[in-house]
Copies of this chain bind each other. A is one copy, B any other.
Amino acid sequence: MTQDIALDDDREDDAYVLDRATVQAIRDAVEVGDAPGLAGLMEPLHSADIADLLEQISAGERRDLVLLYDRDFDGEILSELDEGLREEIVAYLNPQVLADAVRDLETDDVVDLLEDLDEPQQEAILEALEDSDRVAVEQSLNYPEFSAGRLMQRETMMAPEHWSVGEAIDFVRSSENLPEQFYHLILVDPRLEPIGNVTLGRIMSASRETKLADITEDSFRTFEVSEDEADVAYAFNQYHLISAPVVDENNRLVGVITIDDAMGILDEEHEEDLLRLAGVGEGRLSDRVIETTKQRFPWLAVNLVTAVLASMVISRFADTIAQFVALAVLMPIVASMGGNAGTQSLTVAVRAIATRDLTGANVWRVLRREVYVGIVNGLIFAVVMGIVGVVWFGIPMLGVVIGVAMVLNLAVAALAGVGIPVFLERMGIDPALASGAFVTTVTDIVGFFAFLGLAAIWLF
């Protein structure tokens, strides 16, 4: 059956997706235990693709594959893996293979890897490292999680501010152990404070006598080690940074962050916002049923409580409904429209907070706009539903009731959709995390109360 449906079909020309034939060939090789065949199939794959492959196959296949691949297992694959799977895979690797795999990684990748492992696994990896690397990794782990300190690489290329281009070139040419990727020399003053970036391109094209200080880049920013990685990612995107120095509390250079790492963080932050808005936890596609059930449960439990609250509102009007069942038929429409309109406002507000576009300067204007939009759309749908109500049930007053309830609920939805995330942000709570529950609670309760309450007054 697996072969019958395949998202890959539409993307045969898309070189960035593991193609179906390769995946199938790899699974076949694993099934028959063909180690050389497996190695041959894996060889042309990028470690990021191998990591994706491991995430897509079942837990059993994963174990068999790792055990069969064994000696060829590369540290890069570990650092590309979803956090949730690392512990599992590391447990399969024999200690020698693990040590070899980890020794090839840059220290920032080792830090990233270690964060998600349990104590014994961490120690096994730390012991495998060379002394200097181990010290660097241990220092990085002292910085708070999700901080610039964890994200940075400690290998930096720096130059005194008074150097000329010629001195810089001689320095680079005589350096051993250059970082894998570097694009700038960081100019530092005598106290090791970074004062500017010079791109390698400018160094190569300037005359040897040119002072480095005269050809620094316009956009230059430094980050503190304790700064939140999400703020770092935002700044890279906002200011088109390629690399930026990281400084300690004394403003001294301790590392450098490059844009590829910042891009990865930006991607993770987006994922987090998207999943949190939907009430989904830290889940991975490779998680098992029991883990996924646990991740989904809390939000559903919150929703159950809010749904029961809404039901209690309805139950206050049980007599009204018993006299006129059309109310039960129509009431979900008012609540549903409010919930959708509220989610629209909420999503716009959460995104705008994430991109620093919703600030003190415009929060009142945005709130006002959303409420106006809610009222205008409310009026349109009030007319539509008023007509539907009249045509369906033949009672003009019923149309009026549903129309007025609709306008009210859409205005409240807008207010809650913007107001709640703004308030949560002020309280220091991630606005994506809990807003949804509050907003739909408000729209359900207001929707049922307004509709049934107006009906109780105006229809009898």
Contacts and interface: CB of A to CB of B under 8 A. Distances in A.
Interface of A: 1-3, 5-10, 14-18, 20, 23, 46, 48-49, 52-53, 55-58, 169, 172-173, 175, 178-179, 181-183, 199-205, 219, 221, 231, 234-242, 259-260, 262-264, 266-267, 270-271, 273-275, 277-280, 283, 285, 287-290, 292-293, 296-297, 299-301, 303-304, 306-308, 310-311, 314-315, 318-319, 321-322, 325-333, 335-337, 340-341, 343-344, 346-348, 351-353, 355-366, 369-370, 372-373, 376-377, 380-381, 384-385, 388, 422, 425-426, 428, 440, 444, 448
Contacts of A16: 231, 234-235, 238, 356
Given A259-B263, A328-B314, A303 B10 contact: no
Given A336-B444, A364-B2, A201 B178 contact: yes
A79 to B, nearest CB: 10
Nearest to A232: B16
Nearest to A302: B340
Contact of A9 (B322, B360, B448): B360
A325 B332 contact: no
Contacts of A263: 236-237, 259, 262-263, 266
Contacts of A172: 201, 204-205
A285 B52 contact: no
Nearest to A334: B307
Given A6-B359, A274-B274, A321-B325, A344 B46 contact: no
B307 A359 contact: no
Given A14-B231, A18-B361, A361-B57, A348 B285 contact: yes
A300 B341 contact: yes
A301 B336 CA distance: 12
A126 B7 CA distance: 42
B175 A357 contact: no
A309 B303 CA distance: 23
A6 B333 contact: no
Contacts of A341: 296, 300
B283 A18 contact: no
A269 B169 CA distance: 40
Max chain B C-beta neighbours (<10 A), residue from A57, A172, A239, A344: A344
A307 B333 contact: yes
Nearest to A360: B6
Contact of A348 (B15, B235, B283, B352): B283
Nearest to A381: B304
A9 B235 CA distance: 19
A308 B201 CA distance: 63
A373 B285 contact: no
Nearest to A423: B5
Contacts of A266: 263, 266-267
